[in-house]
Amino acid sequence: MSKLKSVFHCTECGHESVKWIGCCPGCSTWNSFTEKKIAVATTKQSFTQYINPEKTGTPILLRDILSSEKPRMLSGIDEWDRVVGGGIIPGSFIVITGDPGVGKSTLLLQVAEGLAQNHVIQYFSSEESLTQVKQRAIRLNVTSENIFFSDEAGLEAIVEHIKRQKPDVVILDSIQNCFLLSQPQAFPGTVAQLREAAFFLMRVAKEQEISIIITGHITKDGQMAGPKLLEHMVDAVFYLQGEDRWQTRILRSQKNRFGTINEIGFFEMEEKGLVPVSNINQQLLDQTSESPGSALVCTIEGTRPLLLELQALTVESKFGMPQRVVTGVDSKTVVLIAAILEKYLHIPFSRQDIFFKVSGGVKMKDAGSDMGIALALLSSYFQKPLPLHSLALGELTLTGQLKSSTHMKTRMKEAEKFGIKQLLVADTVASNSDVKKYGFKNVYQLLSLFPEQESEQAQPSKRVQP
């Protein structure tokens, strides 16, 4: 049973204290404290009844632990299955978060429909009524008889439903709107409520071997709302991202104990829900311009190679402090590469306004795109386009040297697959494909791509032919 706890609060300002105080420290009012009894549930009451006694006991040796590899649960949605690591592991605890209205509920309802072909699903909606859920399900053509819906928000009641039916997967939308009936002082959305609810659900997932997927809110800074402890508790954290001017949604793996982190999946928001985009590279290539200031690179996100167009614009600054407007990549990376080019090629980027972006709305963190950034800046400054159907791959050191990127075979294979004719890489890279390769040792040799400007720089360069 719950035990009662005495709390004294001021009737004037609401200040609380564990004991009676004559003068309120909040509003300086005398004799304003009154006693109030609140119910506090003990940890034993909250969790003991949901722990499997067969899985508790004294520590044992590794060889004595019984283990059996269970098959992953596939939804049939290729982009989702790739991001989660090839399917959902039974007993895993997953959180998916993102901006309001980005499509979290839509995606999870589609995932539930796919999983329900071979598994039993329970879908708890604490934010929307069952009527609203049904309207969305009709729009998404969700017709499976293995999905059971409820608008229950009390966690104890939810767990009772789980124990009674024993589904394979439980979807809870969202954890911020749930509450513990035994702990009325933990209001929904507070740090205390999120911490208790997460621990509550984690123990249920592990002890009952039921996969639980929850949705979470984010802050105005784009981080998952709640204590950092919540991210440590769960097995996987996925962010669903999108931009107002793009219909493309990007599902990114931030943490995954059963798969690759930084894995991404692409979806297109349409009238009938989120449609997986498997040929995203072809769509990105169709948007390339091959004009001055444009460079094509191949970045690795998780295990997936992506062909992205980098766009740079450099103009002479009209103000005392040049502007640096960068989207899609760390602004410090662009500023650093511009400084390297100015140091060794004597190009006055410090007096230029630099505008830089990554097309497609993708955020890029791969160091293998340094050469592409440098070539985009040089192309914009000289107003000369790069060779047609060329791809830049390589890292740039502070000494102006160029070196090979990681996963070069994967990048080059993807380039050949989509018809890239020329590779602009470090001269140490070996190529066995039919794609023509141009090797460069340092930034001086990059000027050979702009022959009319080569003689004007401090040191002449010579292209290293394949």
CATH of residue 434's domain is: 3.30.230.10
Instruction: Please determine, for residue 70, whether its predicted confidence score (pLDDT) is greater than 50.
Output: yes
Q: Are residues 440 and 332 in the same domain?
A: yes
Residue 300: inside a domain, yes or no?
yes
The secondary structure of 258-308 as a DSSP string is TS-TT-EEEEEEETTEEEE-S-HHHHHHHT----TTEEEEEEEETTEEEEE
Q: Are residues 141 and 200 in the same domain?
A: yes
Percent of the chain whose pLDDT exceeds 70: 88
Tell me the mean pLDDT in the region 158-172.
90
Residue 394: inside a domain, yes or no?
yes
Q: What is the structure's pLDDT at 107?
A: 93
Residue 240: inside a domain, yes or no?
yes
Residues paired with residue 255 on neighbouring β-strands, in sequence order? 237
Instruction: Please determine, for residue 5, whether its predicted confidence score (pLDDT) is greater than 70.
Output: no
Contact 78, 276 (CB under 8 A): yes
Q: Are residues 148 and 16 in the same domain?
A: no
Q: Are residues 293 and 257 in the same domain?
A: no
Residue 226: inside a domain, yes or no?
yes
User: In CATH, what number is assigned to the domain containing residue 160?
Assistant: 3.40.50.300
Residue after which a domain boundary falls, among 277, 294, 319: 277
- Amino acid letter, residue 127: E
Residue after which a domain boundary falls, among 257, 277, 297: 277
Q: Are residues 287 and 232 in the same domain?
A: no
Residue 217: inside a domain, yes or no?
yes
The secondary structure of 145-188 as a DSSP string is TTEEEE---BHHHHHHHHHHH--SEEEEE-GGG-B-TT-TTS-T
Backbone angles phi, psi at 94, to 5 degrees: -120, 140
Token pair in block for residue 194: 């999120």
Residue 57: inside a domain, yes or no?
no
Instruction: Please determine, for residue 37, whether its predicted confidence score (pLDDT) is greater than 80.
Output: no
Q: Are residues 83 and 232 in the same domain?
A: yes
Q: What is the structure's pLDDT at 148?
A: 93
Q: Are residues 178 and 160 in the same domain?
A: yes
Gap between the Cα atoms of 253 and 82, Å rounded: 10
Contact 168, 115 (CB under 8 A): yes
Residue 88: inside a domain, yes or no?
yes
Q: What is the structure's pLDDT at 454?
A: 54
| Segment 314-363, tens digit of pLDDT | 999 888 889 999 998 999 999 999 999 999 999 999 999 999 999 877 78
Question: CA 146, 148, 152 angle in degrees (round to 5)?
Answer: 165
Residue after which a domain boundary falls, among 277, 301, 330: 277
Range with lowest mean pLDDT among 42-46, 194-198, 316-320, 390-394: 42-46
Token pair in block for residue 297: 């690179």
Q: What is the structure's pLDDT at 463?
A: 40
Q: Are residues 130 and 184 in the same domain?
A: yes
Range with lowest mean pLDDT among 53-62, 119-128, 271-280: 53-62
Q: Are residues 92 and 201 in the same domain?
A: yes
Confidence category of residue 53, pLDDT binned at 50, 70, 90: low
Mean pLDDT score of the chain: 83
Residue 350: inside a domain, yes or no?
yes
Q: Are residues 329 and 399 in the same domain?
A: yes
Query: Which range marks the domain in which residue 310 is found?
Result: 282-454
Report, in angstroms and rounded to the nearest whole number, the Rg of the chain calculated over CA atoms. Answer: 28
Instruction: Please determine, for residue 1, whether its predicted confidence score (pLDDT) is greater than 80.
Output: no
Instruction: Please determine, for residue 245, whether its predicted confidence score (pLDDT) is greater than 80.
Output: no
The domain total for the chain is 3
- Amino acid letter, residue 45: Q
pTM: 0.73
Q: What is the structure's pLDDT at 458?
A: 46
Instruction: Please determine, for residue 285, whether its predicted confidence score (pLDDT) is greater than 70.
Output: yes
Q: Are residues 81 and 132 in the same domain?
A: yes
End-to-end CA distance of the chain: 79
Half-sphere exposure of 307 (CA within 13 A, CB side): 25
Q: Are residues 117 and 252 in the same domain?
A: yes
